[in-house]
Structure 1
Amino acid sequence: MCYILRMTKTMTLRDANQSFSHCIRAVESGEDFVITRNGKPVARLTPVSNARVLTEQQKQALAHFRQVAREGWPLRSGPLDRDALHER
């Protein structure tokens, strides 16, 4: 079984109120928030399920990363030797 350690972010009730849609998008992506009032925790905003929901842009970035990981970066530098790397 694999566990993912997540950092819980803290925000004030005022900030949560002013950016609620942003908070919901972040929670859909797997983030947790503790909401405080006068410096004291009063609520936790956390995903309903453990499954991470990715935006379309995040899905595309993940697919690109996996492709690059399989194929490697196209550096087009040619073969390197020790002397070329340590030119003076």
Structure 2
Amino acid sequence: MRHISLREANQRLSACIAEVEQGEHFVVERRGIPVAQIIPFPTSGASADREKKLKRLLEMLDRGLPLGGEKFPSRDELHER
């Protein structure tokens, strides 16, 4: 991870982005204090993981979650009362 000044980042933004595409990370500093990071955008692997988690969540929602208590009566049982 390289540290660069805000001025250098401003002057060399295109070159910094090209290096980030190759996997480099930058910490941008203003007056010696870190204020930002320039890092590569997550690859499709992260997207695949997100899709897997979303699928699992949807399956849980389809099954429902037990809330305890009595079983809810069916529509027919409600009308028999």
**Please, what TM-score do these two structures have when normalized by structure 1?**
0.48
Write out the 4+ residue segments of structure 1 that deviate beyond 3 Å after TM superposition: none
State the Cα distance separating 1:39 from its structure 2 match: 0.2
Equivalent position of 1:44 in the other structure: 37
Please list every run of 5 or more consecutive structure 1 residues that lacks an aligned counterpart in the other structure.
Answer: 1-7, 52-88
Larger Rg: 2
Q: Could you tell me which amino acid in structure 2 is paired with residue 44 of structure 1?
A: Q
Do structure 1's residue 25 and structure 2's residue 14 form an aligned pair?
no
Q: How do residues 1-88 of structure 1 correspond to structure 2 at under 5 angstroms?
A: 8-50=1-43
- For structure 2, list consecutive stretches of 5 or more residues without a partner in the other structure: 45-81
| Cα drift, residue 50 of structure 1 | 5.0
Q: What are the Cα deviations for residues 42-82 of structure 1, in whole angstroms up to 9, with x where unaligned?
A: 0000001258xxxxxxxxxxxxxxxxxxxxxxxxxxxxxxx
Q: State the alpha-carbon separation in 1 of the partners of residues 26 and 42 from structure 2.
A: 15
| Same amino acid, percent of matched pairs | 45
Give the number of equivalent residue pairs.
44
Say which is worse superposed, 41-50 or 22-31, in terms of deviation. Answer: 41-50
In structure 2, do the counterparts of structure 1 residues 50 and 10 end up closer, same or farther at CA, with 3 Å as the change threshold? farther
Higher helix share: 2
Q: Distance in 2 between matches of 1:49 and 1:29?
A: 13
Give how far 1:10 is off: 0.2
Q: TM-score, normalised by structure 2?
A: 0.52
SS at match of 2:35: strand
